[in-house]
């Protein structure tokens, strides 16, 4: 059974860690909760004990004969600290070990995930910035807090991401195991997801069936590998992946603007979105009325810019890896792979992820099957599997092509 240590430090978000604990235990993980003394001011030991089915200790003086300050960390497959306060991050950075959680962090040799939660000022303070940077350099995964309502009247960056999303990220880290060090730490990646809408009038639009699932899987996988992730999401209704900056858009023009703006500092851009290729030339400012004579209005369309082509041509940052997607069926002019090779050359990107949609669409499905074609001639067959698995193959191929640091 997978052994998880859930460290909880003393912030109000400790209550959300109860939900995280449930998600771990209900999916069969063996969880040892190690709260700090301050965490117990927010949520008491009986709650942690009841939800984990184990006794809970915070100091190093209980069950000393079992040497818990060393054993808990040594035996863990994953340590996740949620919430991680500014104080806890500082202690971890400096190797302090004055309680059971900080001692556990010193003895753990497994992946360690910190999910910080604090007020924006504390997160942005140079001391915290330096601590986070040191922890990341040492191989820990420190996820970016979410933006939104904080304790009291404040809003800003500093929220603990939704427990389900912290859980999903931890599952990805566990699946990669101890060999899967966060290889995208220090890299900024941009992922687009979903399908754009082009409005005919204030209530009607041209759209498509893209669910955004593959783009979200890519964003989640990149965050689990340590990347700073910007997810430009068009009309999706999925929850924000933990540690990911989500920018919401509707139209292809908005998608283009946000992707291009974020791409300026990106090491890689993955265009998993399905931008509408056409938009009405003159959208109506008011709702188009149904003609009484039974006719239908003609709608003149114009082409949208091809964002992938533009990114590939402009290369907004030297060495940037640009990835596109293609859904192909094959036709009289060529097989799926012939058409995909031609598209790869036409678009000018480095990698093209090709879905063969001849046998039915993959929209909304949790699974995907693909071939990743590279401009350098390589190709990787990805058998039918989860969108998360495909996402990791794509990041593996991206990582191989990033300039070394
Ligand atoms: N793309 C884009 N901007 C557009 C349209 C598509 O950046 N205006 C990107 C998509 O995000 C995807 C890739 O281009 O990465 C898909 O290419 P596209 O030519 O749209 O593929 P198909 O829809 O399969 O096109 P076609 O009908 O030409 O085969």
Same domain, 193 and 136: no
Per-residue tens of pLDDT for the chain, all 405 residues: 899 999 999 999 999 999 999 999 999 999 999 999 999 999 999 999 999 999 998 888 888 888 878 899 999 999 999 999 999 999 999 999 999 999 999 999 999 999 999 999 999 999 999 999 999 999 999 999 999 888 888 899 999 999 999 999 999 999 998 766 899 999 999 999 999 999 999 999 999 999 999 999 999 999 999 999 999 999 999 999 999 999 999 999 999 999 999 999 999 999 999 999 999 999 999 999 999 999 999 999 999 999 999 999 999 999 999 999 999 888 888 899 999 999 999 999 999 999 988 876 566 677 888 999 999 999 999 999 999 999 999 999 999 999 998
Minimum CA distance residue for ligand 1 atom 28: 343
Does 181 reside within a domain?
no
**155 Cβ contact partners less than 8 Å away, ≥ 6 residues apart:** 147, 148, 149
Does 183 reside within a domain?
no
Same domain, 114 and 226: no
pLDDT on residue 342: 96
CATH of the domain at 381: 3.40.50.10300
What dihedral do alpha carbons 146, 51, 180, 394 form, nearest 10°? -60
* Domain assignment of residue 161, given as a range: 3-176
Q: What is the pTM of this model?
A: 0.96
Last residue of a domain, one of 149, 176, 203: 176
Ligand 1 atom nearest 273 alpha carbon? 11
Same domain, 78 and 129: yes
CB 365 within 8 A of CB 342: no
Same domain, 235 and 367: yes
Closest-CA residue to 182 (of 131, 126, 240, 142): 142
Ligand 1 atom nearest 325 alpha carbon? 15
- Compute the distance between CA of residue 113 and CA of residue 243 in angstroms, rounded to an integer: 11
Same domain, 148 and 87: yes
- Ligand 1 centroid, distance to 379 Cα (angstroms): 20
pLDDT on residue 150: 86
The three-state secondary structure class of 347 is helix
Does 328 reside within a domain?
yes
Does 109 reside within a domain?
yes
The two three-digit tokens of residue 391, written as one number: 């996402």
- Ligand 1 centroid, distance to 148 Cα (angstroms): 33
- Compute the distance between CA of residue 270 and CA of residue 402 in angstroms, rounded to an integer: 13
**283 Cβ contact partners less than 8 Å away, ≥ 6 residues apart:** 198, 199, 200, 201
- Compute the distance between CA of residue 210 and CA of residue 308 in angstroms, rounded to an integer: 17
Minimum CA distance residue for ligand 1 atom 14: 308
- In the residue annotation, 235 being an active-site residue is answered as no
The two three-digit tokens of residue 351, written as one number: 């990698």
pLDDT on residue 362: 60
Looking at the structure of the chain, the number of domains it has is 2
Last residue of a domain, one of 136, 151, 176: 176
Does 182 reside within a domain?
no
pLDDT on residue 363: 65
Write the DSSP symbol of residue 64.
G
- Ligand 1 centroid, distance to 312 Cα (angstroms): 13
Q: Measuring from each residue's beta carbon to the nearest atom of ligand 1, which residues come in under 6 Å?
A: 252, 271, 273, 275, 277, 304, 306-308, 324-327
CATH of the domain at 52: 3.40.50.1950
Q: Render 257-296 in DSSP notation, one character per residue.
A: HHHHHHHTT-SEEEE-SB--SEEESS--SSPPPPPTTS--
Q: Ligand 1 test: best mutation among 340, 343, 398, most atoms within 8 Å of CB? A: 343
- Ligand 1 centroid, distance to 276 Cα (angstroms): 8
């Amino acid at each position: 059974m997978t052994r998880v240590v859930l460290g909880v430090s003393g912030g109000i978000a400790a209550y959300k860690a109860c939900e995280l604990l449930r998600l771990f235990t209900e999916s069969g993980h063996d969880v040892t909760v190690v709260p700090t003394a301050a965490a117990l001011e927010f949520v008491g030991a009986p709650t942690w004990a009841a939800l984990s089915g184990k006794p809970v200790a915070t100091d190093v003086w209980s069950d000393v004969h079992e040497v818990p300050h060393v054993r808990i960390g040594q035996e863990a497959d994953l340590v996740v600290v949620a919430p991680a306060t500014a104080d806890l991050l500082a202690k971890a950075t400096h190797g302090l070990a004055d309680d059971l959680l900080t001692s556990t962090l010193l003895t753990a040799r497994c992946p360690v995930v910190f999910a910080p939660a604090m007020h924006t000022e504390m997160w942005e303070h140079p001391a915290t910035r330096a601590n986070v940077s040191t922890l990341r350099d040492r191989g820990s995964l420190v996820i970016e807090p979410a933006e939104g309502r904080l304790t009291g009247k404040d809003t800003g960056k500093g929220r603990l991401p939704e427990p389900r999303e912290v859980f999903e990220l931890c599952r990805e880290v566990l699946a990669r195991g101890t060999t899967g060090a966060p290889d995208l730490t220090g890299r900024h990646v941009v992922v687009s997801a979903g399908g754009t809408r082009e409005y005919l009038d204030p209530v009607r639009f041209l759209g498509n069936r893209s669910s955004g699932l593959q783009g979200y899987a890519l964003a989640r996988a990149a965050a689990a590998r340590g990347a700073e992730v910007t997810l430009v999401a068009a009309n999706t209704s999925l929850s924000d992946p933990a540690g990911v900056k989500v920018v919401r858009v509707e139209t292809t023009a908005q998608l283009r603007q946000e992707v291009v703006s974020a791409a300026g500092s990106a090491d890689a851009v993955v265009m998993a979105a399905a931008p509408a290729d056409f938009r009405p030339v003159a959208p109506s400012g008011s709702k188009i009325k149904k003609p009484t004579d039974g006719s239908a209005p003609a709608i003149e369309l114009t082409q949208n810019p091809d964002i992938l082509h533009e990114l590939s041509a402009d290369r907004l940052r030297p060495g940037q890896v640009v990835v596109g997607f293609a859904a192909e069926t094959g036709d009289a002019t060529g097989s799926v792979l012939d058409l995909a090779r031609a598209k790869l050359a036409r678009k000018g990107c480095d990698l093209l992820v090709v879905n063969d949609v001849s046998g039915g669409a993959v929209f909304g499905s949790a699974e995907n099957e693909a071939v990743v074609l590279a401009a350098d001639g390589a190709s990787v067959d990805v058998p039918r599997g989860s969108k998360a698995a495909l996402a990791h193959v794509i990041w593996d191929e991206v990582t191989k092509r990033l300039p070394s640091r």
